[in-house]
Structure 1
Amino acid sequence: MIHFIVATHGPLASALLESSRMVYGELPNVRAVTLTEEAGIDGFQQAFSRVLADASEGADGVLVLCDMQSGTPWNVACQFAFSPKTTPPVAVVAGVNFPMLLQTDEVSHFCDVHAATRQLIALTHPTLIQAELTVSAPPDDF
């Protein structure tokens, strides 16, 4: 089973989880950790370590969904993902969004965190669309 962490700057992670509960209900095995100005980088590292330890219990892997590449949440998550001491395995993705969070339930049953990551990206990619004006003829049946 794959467990998930949403790691973001500011309250975005918590807001995404709160919104998901409104639309989908409780997402099992999904946790949030946020970088705040008050705690800073050191505080975030400590909080992330605690959340990762919690998320790792009973998991085959942990998938960290970050808000952006190269920010503090990404960098801290990658330190764990690329450490040979980290168990279970950790994978990291940038660009978390609401559809991605809701799709975590579709890949939570995987045992391989990297396979789950590829599938989650594949499921989410089609949700990234640009709105276009469509002009259609009005139906002729009244």
Structure 2
Amino acid sequence: MIQIIIATHGSLSEGFKDAVELIMGESENLHTFSLYQETGIDLFGDSILAKIESLPSKDGIVIFTDLFGASPYNQTTIKMKDLKNVNYRIISGVNLPMVIECLTLCKMGITLDELWQPVVNVGKEGIKDFRQEFEKHMMKRGD
């Protein structure tokens, strides 16, 4: 099964896991990493690399990060060069719909190469402005 890692600043990754498991139940292939102020960047990078190396990764690994170009993203991309023969995708801007879609597709047996684009699309489509959606809905009703 594809392994999923959420790597974020602070306890955001644990919050995502908690929310996902509330909705979908416990998942053995969902892992979290948190960068705290007292955590050194090198220690964070080494820890995430060690975790990736310990995972059964024959089906691949999806790594979600919170911010493109920030420390969790940078450390993950830097450490991935040390891995050989691991199929992975690093996706920044994680949101709850993305993680739920990823877990759902993993359970369906979809491959990593087929998985990443629908996950990114769901993440983008999950961003809505209430007023714009409300006005669209009212226009369809003719109100």
Please, which moves more after superposition, 117-126 or 37-46? Answer: 117-126
2:60 aligned with 1:61 = yes
After the TM superposition, list the runs of 4 or more consecutive aligned residues in structure 1 that deviate by more than 6 angstroms. Answer: none
Cα deviation for residue 4 of structure 1 reads 0.7
Equivalent positions of 1:1-142 (< 5 A) are 1-55=1-55, 57-81=56-80, 83=81, 85-108=83-106, 109-111=109-111, 113-132=112-131, 133-134=134-135, 136=138
Q: Which runs of 5+ in 1 are unaligned?
A: 137-142
Q: Which runs of 5+ in 2 are unaligned?
A: 139-143
- For residues 127 and 121 of structure 1, the distance between their equivalents in structure 2, rounded to whole angstroms, comes to 10
| C-alpha contact 1:107 1:119 (8 A) present in aligned 2 | no
Q: TM-score, normalised by structure 1?
A: 0.82
- For residues 91 and 43 of structure 1, the distance between their equivalents in structure 2, rounded to whole angstroms, comes to 22
| C-alpha contact 1:68 1:74 (8 A) present in aligned 2 | yes
- For residues 54 and 8 of structure 2, the distance between their equivalents in structure 1, rounded to whole angstroms, comes to 18
Cα deviation for residue 115 of structure 1 reads 2.8
Q: Percent identity?
A: 20
- For residues 114 and 33 of structure 1, the distance between their equivalents in structure 2, rounded to whole angstroms, comes to 23
Cα deviation for residue 89 of structure 1 reads 1.5
**Secondary structure in structure 1 of the residue aligned to 2:25:** coil
Q: 1:75 to 1:114 in 2, by over 3 A?
A: farther
